[in-house]
């Protein structure tokens, strides 16, 4: 069956991730020494997972972060600002490579383009800025955005895939899903989606075109 729809993960596929930089920022700026225990590459855990599934707000997330802060200045605990917390969290996200933008622009001409991401309001606001820095609104590149904190679900829970499929009206057998998480890929494949497990070091355009060409033979 011909591929008509492309569903992209965001972090690790379009936006490069830098876990080391994020953990270092929380340590040095916020004074949260063990942030690496909740920051995962794919699906977060603990209060961070609650943040990414919309169970707590950005304000509540920041308050929890402050309870872990151990910055002392002039002999007194320093109250970490919202800006410092947001900056540290966004160190997880790197600039979008130009070739990723060009890939999205190329495929949006002939395919329905959807985004399915485990994310949070702070990180997503920063991602919107990263797209703007490249000259595009994220909604210019994707028909619909399916974001975990809005849907109150997270990959690899099959429910988030089912909601996306039902809301968008896509046919799984006509859809190629690209993600860098093996667990997410497995969940998508179980629901009938074509899948590509992406390695961030690979050429995104080449990986997609190779799969589509193979399917259309």
- pLDDT at residue 27, rounded to an integer: 94
How much is the average pLDDT of 132-139? 96
> How confident is residue 71, by pLDDT bands cut at 50, 70 and 90?
low
Residue 82, phi then psi, degrees to nearest 5: -55, -45
Give ranges for CATH 3.40.50.1000 in the chain.
Answer: 5-16+95-215
Give me the CATH code for the 19-90 domain, please.
Answer: 1.10.150.240
Statement: residue 46 has pLDDT above 70: yes
Mean per-residue pLDDT of the chain: 93
- pTM for this predicted structure: 0.93
In whole angstroms, give the CA distance from residue 78 to residue 72: 6
pLDDT tens digits, one per residue of 11-26: 999 999 999 999 999 9
Query: Residue 97, exposed/middle/buried by CB under 10 A (0-12, 13-18, 19+)?
Result: middle
Give ranges for CATH 1.10.150.240 in the chain.
Answer: 19-90
> Any idea which residues carry the catalytic annotation?
9
pLDDT tens digits, one per residue of 74-100: 555 678 999 999 999 999 999 999 999
In whole angstroms, give the CA distance from residue 170 to residue 146: 13
Q: Give the domain 5-16+95-215 fold.
A: Rossmann fold (3.40.50)
């Amino acid at each position: 069956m011909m591929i008509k729809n492309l569903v992209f993960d965001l972090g690790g596929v379009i936006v490069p991730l830098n876990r080391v930089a994020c953990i270092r920022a929380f340590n040095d700026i916020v004074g949260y020494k063990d942030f690496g225990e909740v920051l995962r590459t794919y699906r977060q855990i603990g209060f961070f997972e609650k943040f990414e599934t919309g169970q707590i707000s950005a304000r509540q997330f920041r308050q929890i972060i402050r309870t872990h802060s151990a910055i002392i200045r002039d002999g007194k605990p320093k109250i970490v600002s919202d800006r410092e917390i947001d900056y540290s969290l966004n160190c997880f996200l790197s600039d979008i490579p130009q070739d990723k933008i060009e890939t999205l622009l190329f495929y949006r001409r002939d395919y329905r383009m959807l985004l399915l991401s485990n994310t949070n309001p702070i990180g997503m606001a920063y991602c919107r800025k990263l797209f703007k820095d490249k000259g595009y609104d994220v909604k210019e590149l994707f028909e619909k955005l399916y974001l975990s904190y809005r849907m109150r679900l997270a990959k690899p829970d099959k429910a988030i895939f089912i909601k996306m499929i039902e809301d968008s009206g896509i046919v799984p057998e006509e859809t190629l899903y690209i993600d860098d998480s093996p667990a997410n890929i497995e969940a998508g494949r179980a629901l009938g989606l074509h899948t590509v497990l992406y390695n961030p070091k690979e050429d995104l355009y080449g990986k997609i075109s190779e799969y589509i060409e193979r399917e259309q033979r």
